[in-house]
């Protein structure tokens, strides 16, 4: 049976209003509304027109209901600067991403989720320390944030949205944790984004994290504090950083924790016992800004890529399959699968450490 919710999902993913879709497909806006609300069934001619305009396979519109994520459960950091079309397109990407991972889960043994509940009264810094201890990380720098999250069962996908307004988001769906990362930022800032979204998953598991009210602004600040403490533990920072701190020193030291220069400067100024005064912090930020570190990260580190998806692709190639087969099985456009993996796929022929791709060790269960 034709599923109107699928039509709504595909339309929003393509950033079209009902009126715009109607004009492109040569039907009336009322027809679109009645189809999306389940009042009418699409005839074959209309269905083919809609599928062609939206770029989705006809079979997509006959699948069961999608996840239908809402802005209330998704942690959009920049919701106030995001248009409704951008927000709805990102939510639809999340819906499709859930299905991609369901496909993956039905075929491979994925790492079990290891993200315990912590006392909600913990400060973000205490929660970051508790998670580090739970994962046995001590106070050492995180070598690969994406690899760590995947190993702990967090489902990571990309977000190729051609807009900086949608930088990253996360959500819980059926007790599974999802993180979507954009590629607009530097590798260092993307690592911080990943840790920020991890903070939302830990701190705001059952609370609203998006919006314009005070609670959601507080949630964003808390997620930043969590990310800062998780990536740059105070114990390690104090041992490694000298008393006299300059912009040049920060540029050398940031490579240890794989964070942006601005993030390290902020951390040094906001430790329990700050290592930078407010005046020093402002002076260093001005100097870093002059050198281009406010909006980019010159001489940056390589971008992290997905170990999990690298193994999946290796397994598919060994079976003489490709992402085209994945898209066909999911009844999704190939372009949509590519967009979900765009930011996280390893480069062809190399793994995350820069070596040759090794054959997947994933075991097929179906």
Which residue has 């739970």 as its token pair?
134
- Cβ of 41: how many Cβ atoms within 10 Å? 12
Confidence of residue 214 (pLDDT cuts 50, 70, 90): low
pLDDT in tens, 21-59: 999 999 999 999 999 999 999 999 999 999 999 999 999
Residue, of 165 and 234, whose pLDDT is higher = 234
In a 13 Å sphere around the CA of 213, the CA atoms on its Cβ side amount to 4
151 exposed, middle or buried (CB, 10 Å; 0-12, 13-18, 19+)? middle
Collect all residues with Cβ–Cβ distance below 8 Å to 316 and sequence separation of at least 6: 322, 323, 325, 326
Above 80 in pLDDT, residue 360?
no
Angstrom CA distances, 214 to 79, 83, 119, 226, stand at: 13, 20, 22, 18
| Residue 352 near residue 310, CB atoms below 8 Å | yes
Cα torsion 197, 266, 250, 179 to 10°: value is 0
Cα torsion 189, 254, 224, 173 to 10°: value is 50
Alpha-carbon distance of 299 to 328, in angstroms, equals 40
Superfamily of domain 1-64: lambda repressor-like DNA-binding domains (1.10.260.40)
Closest C-alpha among 86, 96, 98, 91 to residue 178:
98
Above 90 in pLDDT, residue 188?
yes
Domain layout of the chain by residue ranges? 1-64, 66-230+304-345
166 exposed, middle or buried (CB, 10 Å; 0-12, 13-18, 19+)? buried
Alpha-carbon distance of 222 to 225, in angstroms, equals 5
Tell me what pLDDT residue 342 has: 82
Confidence of residue 89 (pLDDT cuts 50, 70, 90): very high
Q: What is the mean pLDDT of the chain?
A: 89
pLDDT in tens, 242-267: 989 999 999 999 999 999 999 999 99
Q: Do 1-64 and 66-230+304-345 come out as alike in CATH topology?
A: no
Confidence of residue 191 (pLDDT cuts 50, 70, 90): very high
Tell me what pLDDT residue 325 has: 94
Confidence of residue 347 (pLDDT cuts 50, 70, 90): low
Backbone angles phi, psi at 164, to 5 degrees: -80, -5
| Residue 169 near residue 180, CB atoms below 8 Å | yes
- Cβ of 215: how many Cβ atoms within 10 Å? 11
- Paired strand residues for 173: 176
Alpha-carbon distance of 156 to 101, in angstroms, equals 9
| Residue 306 near residue 344, CB atoms below 8 Å | yes
Confidence of residue 346 (pLDDT cuts 50, 70, 90): low
> In degrees, to the nearest 5, what angle opens at C-alpha 24 toward C-alphas 18 and 26?
95
Type and span of the H or E element at 335? helix 334-341
| Residue 314 near residue 279, CB atoms below 8 Å | no
Q: Which fold has domain 66-230+304-345?
A: Arc Repressor Mutant, subunit A (1.10.10)
Residue, of 34 and 184, whose pLDDT is higher = 34
């Amino acid at each position: 049976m034709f599923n109107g919710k699928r039509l709504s999902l595909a339309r929003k993913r393509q950033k079209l209003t009902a009126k715009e879709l109607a004009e492109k497909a040569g039907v009336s806006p009322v027809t679109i509304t009645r189809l999306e609300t389940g009042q009418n069934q699409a005839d074959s001619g209309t269905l083919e027109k809609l599928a062609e305009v939206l770029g989705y396979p006809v079979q997509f519109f006959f699948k069961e209901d999608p996840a239908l994520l809402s802005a209330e459960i998704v942690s959009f950091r920049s919701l106030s600067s995001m248009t409704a079309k951008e927000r709805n397109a990102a939510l639809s990407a999340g819906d499709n991403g859930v299905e991609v991972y369901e496909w993956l889960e039905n075929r491979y043994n994925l790492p079990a989720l290891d993200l315990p509940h912590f006392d909600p009264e913990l400060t973000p810094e205490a929660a970051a320390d508790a998670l580090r201890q739970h994962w046995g990380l001590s106070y050492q720098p995180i070598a690969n944030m994406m690899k760590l999250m995947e190993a702990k069962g967090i489902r990571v996908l990309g977000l190729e949205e051609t807009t900086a307004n949608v930088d990253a988001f996360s959500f819980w769906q059926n007790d599974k944790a999802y993180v979507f990362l954009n590629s607009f930022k530097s590798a260092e800032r993307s690592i911080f984004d990943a840790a920020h979204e991890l903070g939302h998953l830990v701190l705001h598991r059952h609370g609203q994290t998006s919006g314009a009210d005070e609670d959601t602004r507080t949630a964003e600040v808390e997620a930043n504090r969590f990310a800062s403490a998780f990536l740059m533990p105070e114990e390690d920072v104090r041992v490694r950083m000298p008393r006299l701190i300059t912009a040049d020193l920060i540029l050398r030291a940031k490579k240890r924790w794989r964070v942006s220069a601005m993030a390290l400067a902020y951390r040094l100024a906001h430790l329990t016992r700050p290592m930078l005064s407010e005046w020093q912090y402002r002076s260093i930020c001005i100097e870093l800004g002059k050198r281009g570190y406010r909006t980019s990260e010159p001489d940056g580190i390589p971008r992290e890529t997905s170990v999990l998806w690298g193994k999946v692709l290796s397994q598919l190639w060994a079976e003489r399959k490709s992402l085209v087969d994945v898209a066909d099985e999911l009844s999704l456009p190939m372009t949509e699968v590519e967009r979900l993996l765009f930011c996280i796929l390893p480069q062809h022929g190399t793994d995350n450490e820069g070596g040759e791709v090794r054959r997947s060790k994933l075991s097929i269960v179906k």
